[in-house]
Amino acid sequence: MTTTSPGLHTQVLDALGLEITSGERRPGDVLRTDEIAQRFEVSRTVVREVVRVLESMHLVESRRRVGVTVRPTEAWNVFDPRVIRWRLAGADRPRQLRSLTVLRSAVEPVAASLAARYATPAQCAALTACALGMVETSRGQRLEEYLRHDVAFHRVVLNASGNEMFARLGDVVAEVLAGRTHHQVMFEDPDPAAVTLHVKVAEAVREGDAEAAERLTRAIAFGALEELHVLAP
């Protein structure tokens, strides 16, 4: 088979990415392109494209006379959304969730404080709409609908901070929130206290209360860590 369809490319990429990030392929292991092509019944062109993507994530490196070698964990681009997704799908999920949630607790409160200072009227309106959407979908086990509003809420906060570095973390936060939902590290319905805190953050940002926005967002992050202690010990 010599196709280069996006579906096959994604299939091979996801399979190898999961094997590497789960530890099934250990640092120093060599990936044989011929074997990969035969295993997935794809062309060498597809394999080369997949390897280039894995190299861009620093998961592997190509060396003459050696081949494609798996790199150690400390070399990986751990902020790449796909790397996060693969790691959350593996056995190391609880530790990965904690690491990412601690990152959120360090960044998002500051971003919320900045958003209270710099958010535009349109961003304030969008944040309020997201919070109301979270309230509306927080009952009846509508976690996928809730997730969409939750992700949008945190993206608005990060973007409204006016800091381009924070804004770039939107995809990271989205993967964390999606991972919690898709791997059942959530209660059947979101914690009502957490939903209320999101509404209050939206109010604080709209009112320009930077101190309250930071404090309330920190409480959200703390609550997420507490949930992990219960659901992903």
| Mean pLDDT value across residues 87-107 | 91
Regarding whether 93 and 138 lie in a shared domain, the answer is yes
Domain presence at residue 1: no
Domain count, the chain: 2
Least confident stretch, 129-133, 177-181, 208-212, 213-217: 177-181
As a whole number of angstroms, the distance between CA 196 and CA 36 comes to: 50
Residue 40 belongs to a domain: yes
Ranges of beta strands (E only) in the chain are 30-31, 60-63, 67-70
Please choose, from the candidates 3, 28, 42, 72, the residue with its C-alpha nearest in 3D space to the C-alpha of residue 15.
Answer: 42
Nearest-angstrom CA–CA distance, 217 and 116: 12
* One domain for residues 69 and 104: no
pLDDT higher than 60, residue 227:
yes
3-state secondary structure of 29: coil
Q: Of 81, 96, 103, whose CA–CA distance to 183 is shortest? A: 96
**Are residues 94 and 62 part of one domain?**
no
Q: What is the Cα–Cα distance from 25 to 158, expressed in whole angstroms?
A: 35
Domain assignment present for residue 43? The answer is: yes
Residues 91 and 183 in one domain: yes
Share of the chain above pLDDT 90, in %: 82
**43 and 10 in one domain?**
yes
**End of a domain among 19, 52, 75?**
75
Verify that 63 and 97 share a domain, yes or no: no
Last residue of a domain, one of 46, 75, 104: 75
The verdict on residue 114 lying in a domain is yes
Same-domain check for residues 66 and 100: no
Local confidence band at 5 (pLDDT 50, 70, 90 cut-offs) = low
In a shared domain, residues 46 and 62: yes
Question: Which domain CATH number covers 129?
Answer: 1.20.120.530
Q: Name the amino acid, one letter, at 164.
A: E
Mean pLDDT (whole number) for 32-49: 92
Span 50-77, average pLDDT: 94
Closest CA to 90 of 25, 26, 29, 21: 21
Where is the domain boundary, 75, 94, 128? Answer: 75
For residue 155, give the nearest of 137, 173, 138 by alpha carbon.
173
Answer whether residue 102 shows pLDDT above 50: yes
Query: Are residue 183 and residue 114 in the same domain, yes or no?
Result: yes
Give the residue-averaged pLDDT of 47-68: 93
Range of 113's domain?
Answer: 81-231
Q: Is residue 217 part of a domain?
A: yes
Rg (Cα) of the chain, in Å, rounded? 20
Q: Which whole number is the average pLDDT over 39-64?
A: 94
E strand intervals along 3-159: 30-31, 60-63, 67-70
